[in-house]
A and B are shown apart, each in its own frame.
Chain A
């Protein structure tokens, strides 16, 4: 109670501060005058009395401060400190600007990166009890994940008890034909429980139920909020209406909320039920490995329990459906249960952590620089502090003042940093590679702001302590006596620590960036196996019931090819079922005569006969495909070089026989014949080794694909030809969607986008880090040399030659730099472990990178020592000595 009272009284005093000060002044001067009067009455003369009264009174300012301390809040002192700190910064704008800019860069960068990384890596996914959502993959015998078959999903869904809801899904790209251009949508085919597994319900209408998701069930569709707004003008009566997709009528049954973030397929805009056949007919799509599976754990069930249960059930399924599994490549060796969170992020994790680490280093370097600036300034202001201490400022008060100044710097830097972060986040989102999960969730949010502010405050306190540590009273007295010329031992030690840490931090950062830079150069130097220049690509899809027949499908692509080849500027053009480096991934079984079932597989390129020539993939043996390899003729196959070498060694593969895809294991099906061997092509990524591949004519594959990619070799600029090629295709049938139009060169770049993204960001930080570190190393070293000007002058006066002085300074500076390099090497060796998955073609201990960075840092340090040292050596010793 008492303290509450006191608090309000203090508050009252604070509010009437002006008046309080005035009254205290008046009271004290009244006191002094009374004293003076009484002294005069005792017989002193006026002058003497005034002087005696003053003396009796002592330091009036101090007295007032003591009265203040009793009555006022500490905050009042803080306000004073802040005012004073502002005045100090204004008096020294160069210092203030430099410090603020360095801090703003450091803080801005870390806030931007943290903003980007936080939702991706650390925040839970935007679903209720998101940590209970699991993904399930079938496993190869080597443990690597494999897409799930419907048979496995169906069996698990019926027999497991660990999950509240289990769902399977696959991509779906339906076309809506309007009056205008045909539009193809990204969507998903999902089993009935998909939205229940995620824990999200539609805002409009209803979600799928078992009646929707049955074989040959109704055509129903759920829309995303975005599509509902974009295509249907947010019309609430859309539920119950019909839309035409792929030539069929679909009933709209619901729309998802705007807040629904579909991390499993971020660009999906509509959903329809999977509707697979639970009777699992042999050789059907129900046995194909192409589904993803997601499940919500039942409350109380752990991931480990679920893992145990699904694997037991899988073995039972394997026994029940031995025949079905064997025809689809065998019973999977296990099921992998993983949290959705780690499933979504584990690909990008190394890159993001690398970027986060880099930005942390930049921030540390920025801190060291600011600490150095404050240190230098502390040295300059020794005289001032000594004076204030002599006038009665307590050590605590001076420390507080210093900390206030640093905090003020940090806060201004922080405010500017937030602005930089805002820009940085926008740049990051714009630069981010496709497939980076949760990009939409990246914003500068409150948590990040708090993080930045916390960091700022910590930095402020940390750097504030550096000069504060130096201001002990003994030193201050010394400083007062000898002005600012004294160099104290503790001070030098601090400087030396800064030099060493600055060099070490810069080395870690630059080595990491250097390793990635060299990786990328190596990567782009990799031969993709074909000629990517002057190559235009696009995906052409057939939609509508006219294309239900294989003959019509083949005919359309044949006609389209003829018109495209007639376009001026086109050298050649062909179709392929999958396009290298586009994200396509289609592997089918291959059975050589000596193989048992399910042993081999390879990328399937169902192509029009000129494809290999158009791509300029080299022919190694035998012949290419040609127009005679058509329907009715014996199936002709090309296989890739490594595949041939692995299977046949030195033997000639030409004329050997294989069964492909659905024919594998079917003795009644005719063999196909290998007619040629062609060069290896990178399908997935430049960084991965080329995998086995085979090429067959589209006309000889067991079915006609309805989606093919067109590759066009052009005479001039490939991109410029895109409109006329597109129009040529539409001149055959105007309702067929054409998507993914891209030059092969841009596909090459995109396929390495993640590395590229990491690299750009890392290089940006390395550049900032290099500039900061170089100026920092220069500042720290040259500062410490400048402080020794006097000492160097004395040495010169005592007979040291210019060379001696330079050698002395250089030796001492280089010793420190060397120490920093050693520490940095250890740090870089550790840090590079985190980069291993991002490196390509260089080891994490790549000597060229390490040596290059060390040479660079030594050069910077050398210049930083020599410039001030030669200045010091030029000073006339007589002048230095006279100043002494």
Chain B
């Protein structure tokens, strides 16, 4: 579903700042290995969110003492998460109605 990746990334970052690999890992883990984020989609999506100002990026060191780029949700991103969530719920509800009635 279009826009879902953005939603997943925003939701993941709402819990804690993460680097790209961490985001991919987190989505995989929370979905019980059902959803795998392709790297080819992840990084372009992150650039898009950066550009819109919904996330910001800064270089930090990881627990294993390596440099990595961590992404943090911005205030605008938090608002956007709300918008996307409600859109998502509307869409799911609509699909549900179609599946029940059709």
Residues of A whose CB lies within 8 Å of any CB of B are 2, 5-6, 9-10, 23-24, 26-28, 30-31, 34-35, 56-58, 62-63, 66-67, 69-71
Q: For the complex, give the distance between the alpha carbons of A341 and B69 in Å.
A: 72
Using Cβ atoms and an 8 Å threshold, which residues of chain A touch B53?
A: 5, 9
Is residue B79 within 8 Å, beta carbon to beta carbon, of the partner chain?
Answer: no
| Pairwise interchain contact B20-A27, C-beta atoms closer than 8 A | yes
CB distance from A385 to the nearest CB of B (A): 24
CB distance from A238 to the nearest CB of B (A): 71
| Pairwise interchain contact B51-A9, C-beta atoms closer than 8 A | yes
Known: A9-B53, A71-B47. A66 touches B40 (CB 8 A): yes
Q: For the complex, give the distance between the alpha carbons of A6 and B51 in Å.
A: 6
CB distance from A30 to the nearest CB of B (A): 5
Known: A9-B51, A30-B19, A57-B39. A66 touches B44 (CB 8 A): yes
| Pairwise interchain contact A56-B47, C-beta atoms closer than 8 A | no
Using Cβ atoms and an 8 Å threshold, which residues of chain B touch A69?
A: 44
| Pairwise interchain contact B39-A70, C-beta atoms closer than 8 A | no
| Pairwise interchain contact B21-A35, C-beta atoms closer than 8 A | yes
Option from B40, B44, B68 in Cβ contact (under 8 Å) with A27: B68
CB distance from B91 to the nearest CB of A (A): 23
Q: For the complex, give the distance between the alpha carbons of A106 and B64 in Å.
A: 67
| Pairwise interchain contact B67-A34, C-beta atoms closer than 8 A | no
CB distance from A58 to the nearest CB of B (A): 6
Q: For the complex, give the distance between the alpha carbons of A35 and B21 in Å.
A: 8
Known: A30-B69, A70-B47. 16 other contacts (CB 8 A): A2-B52, A27-B20, A30-B19, A30-B66, A30-B68, A31-B20, A34-B21, A35-B21, A57-B39, A58-B38, A58-B40, A62-B40, A67-B44, A67-B46, A69-B44, A71-B51
Q: For the complex, give the distance between the alpha carbons of A443 and B27 in Å.
A: 70
Known: A6-B51, A6-B52. A66 touches B43 (CB 8 A): yes
| Pairwise interchain contact B67-A30, C-beta atoms closer than 8 A | yes
Q: List 25 A-B contacts (CB under 8 A).
A: A6-B51, A6-B52, A10-B51, A23-B59, A23-B69, A24-B43, A27-B20, A28-B43, A30-B19, A30-B66, A30-B67, A31-B21, A34-B21, A35-B21, A58-B38, A58-B40, A62-B40, A66-B40, A67-B43, A67-B47, A69-B44, A70-B44, A70-B47, A70-B48, A70-B51
**CB 8 Å contact bits of B11-43 with A (1 = contact, 0 = none):** 000000001110010000000000000111001
| Pairwise interchain contact A27-B51, C-beta atoms closer than 8 A | no
Option from A2, A26, A31 in Cβ contact (under 8 Å) with B39: A31
Residues of B whose CB lies within 8 Å of any CB of A are 19-21, 24, 38-40, 43-44, 46-48, 50-53, 59, 66-69
CB distance from A60 to the nearest CB of B (A): 9
Q: Give the 10 A-B residue pairs with the shortest CB-CB distance, closest first.
A: A70-B47, A34-B21, A66-B44, A31-B21, A71-B47, A67-B43, A70-B44, A67-B47, A27-B69, A70-B48
Q: For the complex, give the distance between the alpha carbons of A24 and B47 in Å.
A: 10
Q: For the complex, give the distance between the alpha carbons of A71 and B52 in Å.
A: 10
Q: Which residue of B lies closest to A6 (CB)?
A: B51
Known: A27-B20, A31-B21, A35-B21. A58 touches B47 (CB 8 A): no
Using Cβ atoms and an 8 Å threshold, which residues of chain B touch A2?
A: 52
Using Cβ atoms and an 8 Å threshold, which residues of chain A touch B59?
A: 23
| Pairwise interchain contact B39-A56, C-beta atoms closer than 8 A | yes
| Pairwise interchain contact A63-B52, C-beta atoms closer than 8 A | no
Using Cβ atoms and an 8 Å threshold, which residues of chain A touch B19?
A: 27, 30
Q: For the complex, give the distance between the alpha carbons of A77 and B19 in Å.
A: 28
Q: For the complex, give the distance between the alpha carbons of A31 and B68 in Å.
A: 9
CB distance from B51 to the nearest CB of A (A): 6
Q: Which residue of B lies closest to A70 (CB)?
A: B47
Known: A6-B51, A9-B51, A71-B51. A30 touches B21 (CB 8 A): yes
Using Cβ atoms and an 8 Å threshold, which residues of chain B touch A27?
A: 19-20, 43, 68-69
Q: For the complex, give the distance between the alpha carbons of A28 and B21 in Å.
A: 9
Using Cβ atoms and an 8 Å threshold, which residues of chain B touch A26?
A: 67, 69
Using Cβ atoms and an 8 Å threshold, which residues of chain A touch B21?
A: 30-31, 34-35
Using Cβ atoms and an 8 Å threshold, which residues of chain B touch A10?
A: 51
CB distance from A72 to the nearest CB of B (A): 9
Q: Which residue of A lies closest to B43 (CB)?
A: A67
Q: For the complex, give the distance between the alpha carbons of A23 and B51 in Å.
A: 16
Using Cβ atoms and an 8 Å threshold, which residues of chain B touch A63?
A: 39-40, 43-44
Using Cβ atoms and an 8 Å threshold, which residues of chain A touch B66?
A: 30
CB distance from A335 to the nearest CB of B (A): 73
Q: Which residue of A lies closest to B38 (CB)?
A: A58
Q: For the complex, give the distance between the alpha carbons of A2 and B52 in Å.
A: 8
Q: For the complex, give the distance between the alpha carbons of A55 and B24 in Å.
A: 16
Q: For the complex, give the distance between the alpha carbons of A5 and B53 in Å.
A: 9
Using Cβ atoms and an 8 Å threshold, which residues of chain A touch B44?
A: 63, 66-67, 69-70
CB distance from A12 to the nearest CB of B (A): 10
Using Cβ atoms and an 8 Å threshold, which residues of chain A touch B39?
A: 28, 31, 56-58, 63
Q: For the complex, give the distance between the alpha carbons of A26 and B67 in Å.
A: 9
Using Cβ atoms and an 8 Å threshold, which residues of chain B touch A31?
A: 20-21, 24, 39
Q: For the complex, give the distance between the alpha carbons of A27 and B21 in Å.
A: 9
Q: For the complex, give the distance between the alpha carbons of A12 and B9 in Å.
A: 24
Q: For the complex, give the distance between the alpha carbons of A24 and B43 in Å.
A: 9
Q: For the complex, give the distance between the alpha carbons of A241 and B51 in Å.
A: 77
Q: Which residue of A lies closest to B24 (CB)?
A: A31
Q: Which residue of B lies closest to A9 (CB)?
A: B51
Q: Which residue of A lies closest to B46 (CB)?
A: A67
Using Cβ atoms and an 8 Å threshold, which residues of chain A touch B46?
A: 67
Using Cβ atoms and an 8 Å threshold, which residues of chain B touch A5?
A: 53
Q: For the complex, give the distance between the alpha carbons of A34 and B67 in Å.
A: 12
CB distance from B67 to the nearest CB of A (A): 7
CB distance from B24 to the nearest CB of A (A): 8
CB distance from B6 to the nearest CB of A (A): 12
Q: For the complex, give the distance between the alpha carbons of A26 and B40 in Å.
A: 16
Q: For the complex, give the distance between the alpha carbons of A69 and B19 in Å.
A: 21
Q: For the complex, give the distance between the alpha carbons of A67 and B43 in Å.
A: 6
Using Cβ atoms and an 8 Å threshold, which residues of chain B touch A57?
A: 39
CB distance from A6 to the nearest CB of B (A): 6
CB distance from B90 to the nearest CB of A (A): 22
Using Cβ atoms and an 8 Å threshold, which residues of chain B touch A71?
A: 47, 50-51
Q: For the complex, give the distance between the alpha carbons of A5 and B46 in Å.
A: 17
Q: For the complex, give the distance between the alpha carbons of A2 and B20 in Å.
A: 25
Q: For the complex, give the distance between the alpha carbons of A31 and B53 in Å.
A: 23
Using Cβ atoms and an 8 Å threshold, which residues of chain A touch B67?
A: 26, 30
CB distance from A27 to the nearest CB of B (A): 5
Q: Which residue of B lies closest to A58 (CB)?
A: B40
Using Cβ atoms and an 8 Å threshold, which residues of chain A touch B51?
A: 6, 9-10, 70-71
Q: For the complex, give the distance between the alpha carbons of A9 and B74 in Å.
A: 16
Q: Which residue of B lies closest to A30 (CB)?
A: B68
CB distance from B45 to the nearest CB of A (A): 8
Using Cβ atoms and an 8 Å threshold, which residues of chain B touch A35?
A: 21
Q: Which residue of B lies closest to A33 (CB)?
A: B66
Q: For the complex, give the distance between the alpha carbons of A58 and B21 in Å.
A: 15
Q: Which residue of A lies closest to B48 (CB)?
A: A70
Q: For the complex, give the distance between the alpha carbons of A35 and B20 in Å.
A: 11
Q: For the complex, give the distance between the alpha carbons of A801 and B66 in Å.
A: 76
Q: Which of B20, B44, B50 has the most CB of A within 10 A?
A: B44
CB distance from B92 to the nearest CB of A (A): 27
Q: For the complex, give the distance between the alpha carbons of A67 and B44 in Å.
A: 4
Q: For the complex, give the distance between the alpha carbons of A621 and B24 in Å.
A: 116
Using Cβ atoms and an 8 Å threshold, which residues of chain B touch A56?
A: 39
Q: For the complex, give the distance between the alpha carbons of A23 and B20 in Å.
A: 13
Using Cβ atoms and an 8 Å threshold, which residues of chain B touch A23?
A: 59, 69
Using Cβ atoms and an 8 Å threshold, which residues of chain A touch B50?
A: 9, 71
Q: Which residue of B lies closest to A56 (CB)?
A: B39
Q: For the complex, give the distance between the alpha carbons of A69 and B45 in Å.
A: 11
Q: For the complex, give the distance between the alpha carbons of A71 and B49 in Å.
A: 10
Using Cβ atoms and an 8 Å threshold, which residues of chain B touch A6?
A: 51-52
Q: For the complex, give the distance between the alpha carbons of A32 and B51 in Å.
A: 24
CB distance from A128 to the nearest CB of B (A): 54
Q: For the complex, give the distance between the alpha carbons of A70 and B5 in Å.
A: 15
Using Cβ atoms and an 8 Å threshold, which residues of chain A touch B40?
A: 58, 62-63, 66
Q: For the complex, give the distance between the alpha carbons of A27 and B20 in Å.
A: 8
Q: Which of B38, B43, B59 has the most CB of A within 10 A?
A: B43
